[in-house]
Amino acid sequence: MSVKTRAAVAFGLNEPMQIVELDLADPAPGQVMLRMLASGLCHSDLHAMDGKLAQRFPFVPGHEGVGEIIALGQGVTDFAIGEHVIPYLIPECGKCTFCTSGRTNLCVEYRARRNSARSPFSLDGETIAAFMELGTFAEKTVVWADCLVRIPKNAPADHTCCIACGVTTGLGSALIRAKVSPGSSVAVFGAGGVGLSTIEGARLAGAARIIAIDTNPAKEVIARQSGATDFIDPRDIHNIVQHIMEMTGLGVDYAFDCVGHPALARQTLEMTNAAWGVAMCVGVVAEGVEVSVLPTNLYAGRTWTGSLMGGAKRADVRRFVDMYLAGDYSLDHVVSHRLTLDEINRAIEMMKTGESVRSVIVYEG
């Protein structure tokens, strides 16, 4: 028997979300029902709403959440009612070639759920899609157990929800994918939620110099709080690549594009050390848009690569939660606004304008 839940629904491209009451199906075998505690707003949600990512409409956005398990589907034995969990963007089926390889966090189920027609949500008999089959902008949702990360109940939901995506992507990009080395130099385009966490990851890895690059000068203070040693507004620089080369001598050892722009992706590569530099595309580039580089920028040994959720598997997400609880890094300066579900469109506008660093929807009850 289905239950009712309030949710934020995007009914059309570039339209404000509407708060409506939806029917929520019972969990199928292998699924659980969650009562959401908090959900962060991520640019990926915005990209799905504005067409940068292909997405079925109407849909319930949201993928950066923490919830409490309130019902179990048949066959779910690894989790119990009452436990607090993160529904992680990347599942682990444990059976596909990706999962059994031990070489990647990718899973075939990730691709299957990316823009799935399956959804537990409906309105007047019409299916309402759930972003990534998560849909955490709802007071209750149903997700697959193979994507759940068990977390301690004392983990504050308004902070921990950010670890579900932005924090994990940033920390993982620096610590897992790039494997930033102690004493190295790092440049990061974008001081948003992901960029700040990439900076944090570089700091935790022991980087000696971390250069934050952002067009919003208000981000300098928070970037330095996250570990940046330098801050550059690229609008003040004639040639950002040349400037970084002059600052570092031979270029940075690692560079990250956490914005998702083709020009920045290229500059990220060009500003790295020609022999061993590692450039990483972290931010989401619009589907169908190409990035390019001169082959001569690769011949001497540079690496140009990407990062899917920082290369993190579920165990890594739990490790990042434990690191946060241990005080290895803080999210006090990252979570800038806490709002109710009814205020979600305001949160979206603040994300667009850069007024917020990370807004979090906190659910009542």
pLDDT digits (tens, 9 = 90+) for 130-157: 999 999 999 999 999 999 999 999 999 9
Tokens encoding 225: 């709080």
Looking at the chain, list the stretches that DSSP marks H as alpha helix, in order from N- to C-terminal side: 43-50, 97-101, 108-113, 157-163, 166-172, 193-205, 219-226, 240-248, 262-270, 314-325, 344-353
What crossing angle do the helices spanning 262-270 and 240-248 adopt, rounded to 10°?
Answer: 30
Rounded to an integer, what distance in angstroms lies between the CA atom of residue 232 and that of residue 242? 13
* Spatial distance between the Cα atoms of 9 and 57, rounded to a whole number of angstroms: 9
Decide: 185 and 254 in contact? Cβ < 8 Å.
yes
| pLDDT value at 1 more than 80 | no
The sheet with strand 254-257 has its strands ordered as 230-232, 209-213, 185-189, 254-257, 278-281, 303-306
Q: What is the token pair recorded at 82?
A: 């009452």
pLDDT score recorded for residue 200: 98
Rounded Cα distance between 51 and 288, Å, is 11
* C-alpha to C-alpha distance for 108 and 314, rounded to whole angstroms: 15
What token pair was written down for 263?
């020009």
- The rounded mean pLDDT for the chain is 96
Answer yes or no: is pLDDT of 364 > 90: no
Region 301-329: mean pLDDT is: 98
Return the percent helix, strand and coil in the chain, to nearest 5: 30, 25, 40
Q: Residue 351 phi/psi, 5° resolution?
A: -70, -40
pLDDT tier at 123, thresholds 50, 70, 90: very high
The pLDDT assigned to 354 comes to 87
Q: Report the C-alpha gap between 72 and 13 in whole angstroms.
A: 34
Amino acid at 221: V
pLDDT of residue 157: 98
Residue 172: pLDDT above 70?
Answer: yes
CA distance 330 to 312: 19
> How do residues 29-76 score in pLDDT, each as one tens digit?
999 999 999 999 999 999 999 999 999 999 999 999 999 999 999 999
Residue 365 confidence (pLDDT): 64
DSSP state of 68: E
* Mean pLDDT of all residues in 164-168: 97
Q: What is the mean pLDDT of residues 213-217?
A: 96
212 strand-pairing partners: 188, 231
Residue 359 and residue 39 in contact, taking contact as beta carbons nearer than 8 Å: no
Model confidence band, residue 340 (pLDDT cutoffs 50, 70, 90) = very high
Domains, the chain, with CATH or none: 3-164+332-362 (3.90.180.10), 167-310 (3.40.50.720)
Percent of the chain with pLDDT over 90: 93
Q: What is the structure's pLDDT at 287?
A: 85
Q: Which residues contact 124 (CB under 8 A, 6 or more apart)?
A: none
Residue 2 has pLDDT above 90, yes or no: no
Mean pLDDT, residues 315-327 taken together: 98
Catalytic residues: 42, 44, 47, 63, 165
The string of pLDDT tens digits covering residues 251-263 is 999 999 999 999 9
pTM, whole model, 2 decimals?
A: 0.96
pLDDT in tens, 18-28: 999 999 999 99
3-state secondary structure of 175: helix
Q: CB-based contacts of 303: which residues, under 8 Å, 6+ apart?
A: 277, 278, 279
